[in-house]
Amino acid sequence: MSTILSSASEFTALVQRFFVERLIQQQNASAQTVNAYRDTFRLLLTYAERTIGKSPTTMSLEQFDCSLIIGFLDYLEAKRHNSIRSRNARLAAVRAFAHYVALQCPAALHLAQQILAIPSKRYEKPMLGFLSREEMQSLLNAPHSATWYGQRDRIMLAVLYNTGARVSELIRIRLSDIILDGAASVRLHGKGRKQRTVPLWKETALQIRGWVKYQSLHPDQPLIPSRHGKPMTRSNVAERLSLAVETAASDHPQLRGRNISPHTIRHTTAMHLLQAGVDISVIALWLGHESPITTHGYVEADLSMKERALATIQPPEVSTSRYNPGDKLLKFLEEL
């Protein structure tokens, strides 16, 4: 048996080189990617310690096999109650490491191939949830403007709705990313180090001007800070949104019991742009989608667009004449 497969120190060194050399130095992966892969390996190595009795520093490459990975994926779903999408994301991190192992350790090629053969799970994609214009307006007005928190939350919701930003993009906005003179806009730092500029509506720009003056913000400060001046966290944004939904539900009781997240507002922005007649390719750029194909889900969710399409179709009782080809060759082809 190869010493590379049975040596714990070799496995430890391989994992370290995967993160330092492969991800950070060679691929220049984003901090978000490195953190996601790191969290996957922390979970995986902790699971391995419980199931096979090997601590991370005593584990060997031969023990990092297909059965361990399949058990780990089952554990994520059954014990940690992760969604299938989260399970697939963890598998993607493990696959990336398996690719690296196949290149670095030919003796472990069979182990790597077995791991790479583990398929991603299919899952049902739920219909996109979004708010009506009336519900969204009520949500924007929900925070109390007489308090610091209320003013901050109004800016938070207005920017979310205007830009369709992801939470990670929202909390990274600094004052230096905002242009308020002339054509107002905001620069968003998206996934995979991609940046995009989104125009600001006049109402949003006016709100931001008042907020910047009220806060005396400097260019390097977050636009939407916590009370201590630091960027808000994901959980903080979700918590403040829940409070706004609770307030808005007094005027719109149908909001109660609905799962309204910051991503729901992103969907709402896309749907309202679509309903206003904005081209789907423009919406894809607005949201920072890799391809307009990703944006097609919003068309699927818009019932009113389907109803308009249905109205253009002739009802079944309307008789239509069938084309009768006069040419013998066309007739032959028609009858095939």
Backbone angles phi, psi at 16, to 5 degrees: -65, -40
How far, in Å, CA of 210 to CA of 151, rounded? 10
Query: pLDDT (tens digit, 9 = 90+) per residue, 184-243?
Result: 999 999 877 789 999 999 999 999 999 999 999 999 999 999 999 999 999 999 999 999
Which residues are tagged catalytic? 166, 191, 263, 266, 289, 298
Query: Does 140 reside within a domain?
Result: yes
Q: How many separate domains does the chain show?
A: 2
Q: How confident is the model at residue 306 (pLDDT cuts 50, 70, 90)?
A: low
Evaluate whether 29 touches 23 at the Cβ level (below 8 Å): yes
Q: 272: how many CB neighbours lie within 10 A of its CB?
A: 18
Query: Does 50 reside within a domain?
Result: yes
Evaluate whether 100 touches 18 at the Cβ level (below 8 Å): yes
Q: Are residues 111 and 151 in the same domain?
A: no
User: Which 8-state DSSP code applies to residue 51?
Assistant: H
Encoded tokens for 134:
């009336």
What was the pLDDT predicted at 212?
Answer: 94
Helices within 53-132 (DSSP H only): 66-78, 84-104, 109-116
Evaluate whether 238 touches 262 at the Cβ level (below 8 Å): yes
Q: Which of 66, 83, 116 is the last residue before a domain boundary? A: 116
Query: Does 317 reside within a domain?
Result: no
What was the pLDDT predicted at 319?
Answer: 58
What was the pLDDT predicted at 280?
Answer: 84
Q: How confident is the model at residue 291 (pLDDT cuts 50, 70, 90)?
A: confident
Q: How confident is the model at residue 32 (pLDDT cuts 50, 70, 90)?
A: confident
Residue 100 pLDDT > 60, yes or no? yes
Q: Are residues 104 and 166 in the same domain?
A: no
Encoded tokens for 123:
């899952």
Query: Does 92 reside within a domain?
Result: yes
Q: Are residues 111 and 185 in the same domain?
A: no
92-119 as b/e: b if 16+ CB within 10 A:
ebbbbbbebbbebbeebeebbeebeeee
Four-point Cα dihedral 310, 314, 315, 319, nearest 10: -170
What was the pLDDT predicted at 302?
Answer: 62
Evaluate whether 73 touches 63 at the Cβ level (below 8 Å): no
Closest by CA position to 244, among listed 137, 132, 136, 143: 143
What was the pLDDT predicted at 126?
Answer: 64
C-alpha gyration radius of the chain: 26
Q: Are residues 16 and 106 in the same domain?
A: yes
Per the structure, the complete domain to which residue 223 belongs is given by: 133-311
If phi over 0 gives left and psi between -120 and 50 gives alpha, with beta otherwise, what is residue 104? alpha
Query: pLDDT (tens digit, 9 = 90+) per residue, 130-189?
Result: 899 999 999 999 999 999 999 999 999 999 999 999 999 999 999 999 999 889 999 999
Residue 47 pLDDT > 70, yes or no? yes
Identity of residue 27: Q
Q: Is 111 helix (H, G, I), strand (E, B) or coil?
A: helix
Q: Scanning the structure block, which residue is given the tokens 């993607």? A: 92
How far, in Å, CA of 241 to CA of 221, rounded? 22
How far, in Å, CA of 105 to CA of 110, rounded? 10
Residue 310 pLDDT > 60, yes or no? no
Residue 25 pLDDT > 60, yes or no? yes
Q: Are residues 161 and 286 in the same domain?
A: yes
Q: Are residues 178 and 100 in the same domain?
A: no
Query: Does 205 reside within a domain?
Result: yes
Query: pLDDT (tens digit, 9 = 90+) per residue, 252-279?
Result: 999 998 999 999 999 999 989 988 888 8
